[in-house]
Amino acid sequence: MHIFKTKKELQKFLLSFTKEEKVGFVPTMGALHEGHLSIVEQSKKQCDITICSIFVNPTQFNNASDLDNYPNTLKADLEKLEQLACDIVYTPTIADLYKNGEKAKEFDFGTLTIGMEGEFRPGHFNGMATIVEKFFNIINPTKAFFGQKDLQQLQIVKALAKQMESDIQIIGIPTIREESGLAKSSRNELLSTSAKQEATLVYKCLKYCKNNQELAIPTLEKYIQEQFKNNTHFKLEYIDFVSLNTLLPITKWEAKNQNAICIAAYIEGVRLIDNIIL
């Protein structure tokens, strides 16, 4: 496994590969768990060379304390990637990617950023797209892999690749879950054992919708709101039924696999997000 700290060293090394070799790219912010590792495994299956980046991107945090408190587990992360035989790891400093005082770029992704995370985390997607665009320009991968748990991010990255007029194929990887159904996340480590158990409510609600699609969307929405209302430990931030293509709210189901239900909620001060595509 090759580890590079600067884009200059990385790009120089990438010149040694032929154009016929497929390069897979998995961007992460570290604190790697099974969800991240499953994405790396998918890249290894589909590509000749897999590059994983570990970089906590400052421009996508709209809360300075979240950035300060973000876990740094680089040593453990590198060990996990080595066990998977990841080919290349890129661990840049902020100075390697941003000029002094550089801010996030302003993007227009139309309706994709209006609701959900776009509403509750202003500026987040401009920061995310800024760094992903930088990575794409540095690495120019054949395929880039993103987890479906961050569904809005996945759809925005697809739009970004189109705006860049890039041939990079954006691949969404299904969410990896605990046995309980809770979506794998580095944030789960911040939860007590009892809260982890209670947090399964999020997935239970999504599953209920999947199993009761014959019910009207407003009925399902009301059901979920009641479930959270009855759980005093949870604070529901949003529950949105949206079209997968536009991420705009829907009141009636569209074609199969073109609908998404997205939930964000707090428990013990930890923000959890999850979704299901129907």
The model carries a pTM of 0.95
Q: What is the pLDDT of residue 189?
A: 86
Which regions of 112-223 does DSSP assign to beta strands (E)? Answer: 143-147, 169-173
Give yes or no for residue 139 having a pLDDT over 90.
yes
Q: What is the largest CA-CA distance in the chain?
A: 59
Considering the chain, what is the average pLDDT of its residues? Answer: 96
Whether 206 and 261 have beta carbons less than 8 Å apart is answered as yes
Q: What is the mean pLDDT of residues 183-192?
A: 91
Burial class (CB in 10 A: 0-12, 13-18, 19+), 232: exposed
Q: Of 155, 134, 174, 111, nearest to 53 (Cα)?
A: 134
Q: What is the pLDDT of residue 215?
A: 95
Count of Cβ atoms closer than 10 Å to residue 117 Cβ: 22
Q: Of 99, 98, 100, 76, nearest to 28 (Cα)?
A: 76
Q: What is the pLDDT of residue 234?
A: 95
The dotted CATH code for 2-173 is 3.40.50.620
The CATH number corresponding to 186-273 among 3.40.50.300, 3.60.15.10, 3.30.1300.10, 1.10.3470.10 equals 3.30.1300.10
Q: What is the pLDDT of residue 62?
A: 79
Q: What is the pLDDT of residue 82?
A: 98
Active-site residue, selected from the candidate residues 2, 36, 124, 233: 36
Tell me if residue 36 is catalytic.
yes
Q: Where in the chain is the domain with CATH 3.40.50.620?
A: 2-173
Whether 187 and 265 have beta carbons less than 8 Å apart is answered as no
Q: What is the pLDDT of residue 65?
A: 76
Give yes or no for residue 183 having a pLDDT over 80.
yes
Q: Where in the chain is the domain with CATH 3.30.1300.10?
A: 186-273
